[in-house]
């Protein structure tokens, strides 16, 4: 058996996401919002395809404009892709939509850390062990 390039804890998380996605993929009982959540998080955290995740989060944000999760996650994705102006705007939008939620603040902190230490943003955004 070939050794995984991921640390053991990340490997477990990766397998758990894959299992959950397979379990839900064919389920007819999922809401549209749940489908957006699964698809976007699968691309962010399992495949690491940030462009696919970005597109899904953008469509989710257009479909559910009062939901704070898409702009919060878009802020993190944009920051990981190096588009700091968009990342800031999305983090602020998430905070405006739900000031009591931490997702916008999380994106803002990650953005500030990335700006202070170029190159760190890729290791702290979607696709890493901690969202």
Backbone angles phi, psi at 60, to 5 degrees: -60, -45
* Predicted confidence band of residue 75 (pLDDT cuts 50, 70, 90): very high
Mean of all residue pLDDT scores within the chain: 81
24 assigned to some structural domain? no
Domains: count for the chain: 1
**Residue showing tokens 């588009």:** 83
Whether 19 is covered by a domain: the verdict is no
Kindly state whether residue 48 falls inside one of the protein's structural domains.
Answer: yes
Q: 127: how many CB neighbours lie within 10 A of its CB? A: 19
Residue pLDDT, tens place only, 24-35 = 665 568 899 999
Among 122, 130, 47, residue whose Cα is nearest residue 82: 122
Instruction: Label residues 53-90 b or e (16+ Cβ within 10 Å = b).
Output: bbebbbebbeeeeebbbbbbbbbbbbbbbebbebbbeb
Query: pLDDT at position 108, please?
Result: 86
Q: Is 103 within a domain?
A: yes
Residue 120, domain CATH: 1.25.40.10
The pTM score is 0.70
Q: Is residue 9 part of a domain?
A: no
Report residue 11 CA to chain centroid gap. 18
**Cα separation values, 99 from 9, 60, 86, 106, Å:** 31, 20, 19, 12
Residue-range definition of the domain harbouring residue 80: 32-124
**Domain presence at residue 112:** yes
């Amino acid at each position: 058996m070939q050794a995984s390039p991921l640390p053991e804890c990340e490997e477990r998380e990766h397998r758990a996401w894959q299992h959950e996605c397979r379990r839900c993929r064919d389920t007819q009982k999922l809401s549209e919002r749940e489908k957006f959540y699964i698809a976007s998080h699968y691309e962010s955290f399992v495949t690491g395809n940030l462009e696919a995740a970005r597109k899904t989060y953008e469509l989710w944000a257009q479909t559910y404009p009062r939901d704070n999760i898409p702009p919060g996650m878009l802020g993190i994705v944009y920051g990981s892709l190096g588009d700091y102006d968009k990342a800031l705007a999305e983090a602020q939008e998430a905070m405006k939509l739900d000031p009591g939620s931490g997702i916008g603040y999380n994106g803002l902190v990650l953005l500030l850390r990335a700006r202070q230490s170029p190159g760190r943003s890729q290791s702290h955004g979607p696709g890493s062990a901690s969202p």
